[in-house]
Amino acid sequence: MLAFISRVQKIANPPSSAVQPKEKTALKFGCLDAANIVPGALVIPAKSHPDAKAYGGAIGYQDMINDPEVDVIYNPLPNGLHFEWTMKALKGGKHVLLEKPAANTEDEARQIFTLAEKKGLVVLEASYYRFPSIQRVKAILDSKELGPTKTITAALSAPEGTSKPDDIRWKYELGGGSMMDPGSYTVNVLNYLASPNKPKSVLTASAEPYSSATEHKQIDKNYFWNDSSFPKLKATVRCEGGSIEIFNFLMPHYYHYITVSPKGKRSRTEKAYKFGDGSKGEDWCISLSTGGITRSPRNSTT
């Protein structure tokens, strides 16, 4: 709990520009829209950069894309607008940090990455949980410390009321839906941890409504901590030589822990808030977009 409080405090209070010098090689980000994720991901961290500016008016989006000082466009627009504005950003010569899901259809996604490759630009889907904690989990799996992978499970749930019924995340006409928003995380983490042997088809699928925990509450009402009513945010990989589990794979920047349990040996716990070489990320950063990404060559692969 103390570690969690400490992380939240650091994230909410980034240093001022007077004590956080800007790297000459840092990329300059432009952000479309005022999505809920923007204050924490960009606006609050921007306190450490005195040259931040805003664009407005009917053509504010295009003005930002046309600005030669902007290197990367972050696109957190509603899903249904991802394709249109990502294509405009690429045509304007900008790299794109694209909020998940990349597009509404497979065809749109192919068009995006085909254009990016043609222009020598980078398009990165903004699954920011991938940096760097889950990479540490993948590194342990790739080391073969636990042997070949047998099964991978991922669970994500949230209390009823976390988002309102009329939230744009659920509006079909805007590209919304459970698998286009929260469900994309579980699919993404399963694919990532299974790579390079990614799943090729879905054999079965089921959903467990969060409200189903109500019956367990009645049975466990005498316990101070009721696990059945707590959000499920775990990913677990079982291998021939043991298992590895990450708690809070969804928002690891706030708090997480990785439990490695080799067969016949004592379990250990790890955390990964920064990259191993210490080159990226700060205690107040919640994503790579604010963690000091350095400039990439224009011919980077997508």
The stretch 44-63 carries a mean pLDDT of: 82
β-pairing, 233-239 vs 242-247, is antiparallel
* Chain segment 130-182, per-residue pLDDT in tens: 878 899 999 999 999 999 999 999 988 877 777 788 888 888 888 988 888 88
Q: How far is the C-alpha of 24 from the C-alpha of 17, rounded, in Å?
A: 14
The confidence score (pLDDT) of residue 290 equals 35
CB 256 within 8 A of CB 265: no
- All structural domains of the chain: 2-128+279-290 (3.40.50.720), 133-198+227-270 (3.30.360.10)
- Stated pTM of the model: 0.76
Sheet holding 29-31, edge to edge: 29-31, 72-75, 95-98, 123-125
Which range scores top for mean pLDDT: 5-14, 239-248, 277-286?
239-248
The more confident residue out of 41 and 167 is: 167
What's the token pair of residue 147? 């042997």
